[in-house]
Amino acid sequence: MAEVVGLRCANPTYDGMLRTTCCFLTKREMGTLQAIIFDVDGTLAETERNGHLVACNEAFARMGFDIRWSWEEFKELLKIPGNARRMRLALSTRTSLSETELDRIVPELFALKKELYLKRVDALPLLPGVARIIHEAIDRGIRLAIVSVTHEDQILALLRAQIPEALDAFDPIFGQQSGKKDSALYARCAARLGYDASEILVIEDSERGFKAANGAGLPCVVVYNEYTRGQDFTGAELVVRSLEHLDLDLLERLCLS
């Protein structure tokens, strides 16, 4: 019979006090934190509302399209992964462009959007607690990685603008060019890191991202936000509104021990 040495939380939340239902955790299931995998949009920084939405609307305007998404519209569109897909949907439903024209225009529109977004990264600060967690991880020799639907150049630009001293610590970085953000991509990232799943902690903000990490057997902290509040995070090690009041030691104790 396996030795019982700790607790795992079935659907915990943390807002300065732990509020949770727990079940027994056996010794062979426990791990020592060796690596953290971050999502980007909504997890490292509030990039959706203040970055991607603004850039999309400016790109539409510059190319002469009378399309301007409100934040409420854009929140609904976040259910569709990738701004190129969202922009194509808008053009296909709100203009008379043919499929051939869309095939030509959407890449040009998205390239412009990306250029405009890259000019905005200086104005996209990291969310509360994120920089502290990253610095604590570096100081402890804990590996850092990223799995995201965002293009790699956008990820690098954000890191370079907001936490340049940590840029080289993130390896690997799996962005949009690495393929669909799913359990297989998380498994690839874990394999590159070279640690057991019980030694890796994922930090995500959405049900889609959490389920991808969970499907790869990776413990996950969910830091929900305005547009992911209320999604299904059943099975997450921890569900929080912010990392502001958490440090790395507390995250390790709550999630891996």
| Closest by CA position to 33, among listed 235, 185, 221, 241 | 221
CB atoms under 10 Å from CB of 182, counted, come to 16
Contact predicate 199/33, CB 8 Å: yes
CA angle 172–37–191, rounded 5-degree value: 55
CA–CA gap between residue 117 and residue 55 (Å, rounded): 5
Q: Select which of 15, 41, 122, 168 is catalytic.
A: 41
| Closest by CA position to 40, among listed 119, 179, 157 | 157
Does 171 qualify as catalytic in the annotation?
A: no
Does 139 qualify as catalytic in the annotation?
A: no
DSSP 68: -
Nearby residues of 246 by Cβ (< 8 Å), 6 or more positions away:
14, 129, 133, 240
| Closest by CA position to 13, among listed 202, 247, 234 | 234
Nearby residues of 116 by Cβ (< 8 Å), 6 or more positions away:
54, 55, 58, 59
Contact predicate 218/197, CB 8 Å: yes
Active site residues: 39, 41
